[in-house]
C-alpha cells in the first residue's frame, strides 16, 4: 500500500518538473524570434542619403555604386546633343568641385546600377524601389533648377552600334518609368546612349559594373 505522504510528494515533484520544462521551452522561442525580427527590419536600407550627398559633393562620395566614374561638363553635354546651349545656365552649378579657374565645371553626377535582364530594356521589378527613392530626391526644391540627363552605359561585349542602341533604350526606359510610375516631370528628363565609350572598370571591360545608367544634373535657365 502506497502511503498518502509519498503520493503527495510525488505530485509536487512532477508539477515542479513540468513547470520548469514549460519555462525553458517558452524562453527558447523568445530567444529565437528576437534576431529574426531584427534581421528582417534591416534588410531594406534607404539609398536616398547616399544619392544626395554624392550629387551635392562628389569629392566626399564614398558609395562605390553612386560614385561617378565619368565626368561631364556643359560643353560635353551640348556637344553630345543632349541639351541645347541656349537652355543651360552655367552659374547654377553649386558643388564643391567647381571653382573660378578656366577649367570647365564638372556637372553633378552619380552612377546608378539599374539592372536589366540580358538583351532587355525593361526595368526589372527589383529595381523599382531604388528608382522611387531617386525620384523622391529629385523632386526636392534644391534640384528644382536642373534638368536630369540619364546616360546609358554598356560593357564592351557586342558591336559599338549595338551597345549604343541598347544603352539608349535602357536610359529611355528609366526616364519612362520615372515619369509614369513616380510622377517626375518628363519635360525635365533627357536620355542618351553612351555604349561602351565610358567604362566604369576599364580593366574588366565585360564586367557588370559597366552596365549602368548615369544621372547628370544640367543647370537650366
Shared domain check, 131 and 25? no
Helix (H) or strand (E) segment spanning residue 9: helix 4-41
Question: What letters, b where the CB count within 10 A reaches 16 and e where it falls short, cover 9-25?
Answer: eeeeeeeeeeeeeeeee
Amino acid 2: pLDDT: 53
Shared domain check, 63 and 150? yes
Cell 541645347 belongs to which residue?
84
Residue 74: all three cell numbers together: 556643359
Q: Does residue 204 register a pLDDT over 90?
A: yes
Q: What is the DSSP letter of 106?
A: B
Shared domain check, 184 and 84? yes
Q: Which CATH number goes with the domain that contains 214?
A: 3.30.1330.60
3-state helix, strand, coil in the chain (%, to 5): 50, 15, 40
How far is it, in rounded angstroms, from Cα 106 to Cα 65? 19
Shared domain check, 76 and 158? yes
Amino acid 219: pLDDT: 94
Shared domain check, 116 and 12? no
User: What are 193's strand-pairing partners?
Assistant: 152
Shared domain check, 53 and 39? no
Does the predicted model carry a pTM greater than 0.85?
A: no
Decide: residue 63, CB within 10 A, 0-12 exposed, 13-18 middle, 19+ buried: middle
Shared domain check, 58 and 35? no
Shared domain check, 180 and 83? yes
Q: What is the mean pLDDT of residues 73-77?
A: 92
Shared domain check, 180 and 97? yes
Q: Phi, psi (5° rounding) for residue 184? A: -65, 135
**Residues 81-126 pLDDT 10s:** 999 999 998 655 554 444 445 566 889 999 988 888 878 889 989 9
Domain extent at residue 87:
48-219
Shared domain check, 131 and 202? yes
**Residues 139-177 pLDDT 10s:** 999 999 999 999 999 999 999 999 999 999 999 999 999
Shared domain check, 68 and 27? no
Shared domain check, 62 and 21? no
Domain count, the chain: 2
**Residues 4-63 pLDDT 10s:** 555 555 555 555 544 444 332 323 323 333 343 433 333 445 788 889 989 888 888 889
Amino acid at each position: 500500500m502506497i502511503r498518502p505522504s509519498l503520493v503527495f510528494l510525488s505530485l509536487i515533484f512532477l508539477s515542479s518538473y513540468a513547470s520548469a520544462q514549460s519555462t525553458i521551452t517558452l524562453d527558447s522561442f523568445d530567444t529565437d524570434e528576437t534576431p529574426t525580427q531584427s534581421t528582417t527590419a534591416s534588410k531594406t536600407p534607404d539609398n536616398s542619403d547616399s544619392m544626395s550627398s554624392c550629387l551635392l559633393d562628389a569629392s566626399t562620395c564614398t558609395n562605390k555604386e553612386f560614385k561617378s566614374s565619368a565626368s561631364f561638363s556643359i560643353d560635353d553635354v551640348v556637344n553630345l546633343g543632349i541639351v541645347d546651349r541656349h537652355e543651360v545656365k552655367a552659374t547654377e552649378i553649386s558643388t564643391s568641385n567647381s571653382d573660378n579657374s578656366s577649367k570647365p565645371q564638372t556637372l553633378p553626377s552619380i552612377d546608378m546600377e539599374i539592372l536589366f535582364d540580358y538583351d532587355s530594356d525593361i526595368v526589372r521589378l527589383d529595381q523599382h524601389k531604388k528608382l522611387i527613392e531617386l525620384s523622391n530626391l529629385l523632386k526636392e526644391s534644391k534640384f528644382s533648377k536642373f534638368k536630369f540627363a540619364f546616360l546609358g552605359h554598356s560593357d564592351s561585349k557586342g558591336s559599338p552600334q549595338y551597345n549604343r542602341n541598347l544603352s539608349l533604350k535602357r536610359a529611355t526606359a528609366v526616364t519612362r518609368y520615372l515619369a509614369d510610375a513616380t510622377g517626375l516631370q518628363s519635360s525635365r528628363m533627357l536620355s542618351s546612349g553612351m555604349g561602351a565609350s565610358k567604362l566604369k572598370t576599364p580593366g574588366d571591360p565585360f564586367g557588370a559594373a559597366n552596365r549602368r545608367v548615369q544621372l547628370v544634373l544640367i543647370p537650366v535657365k
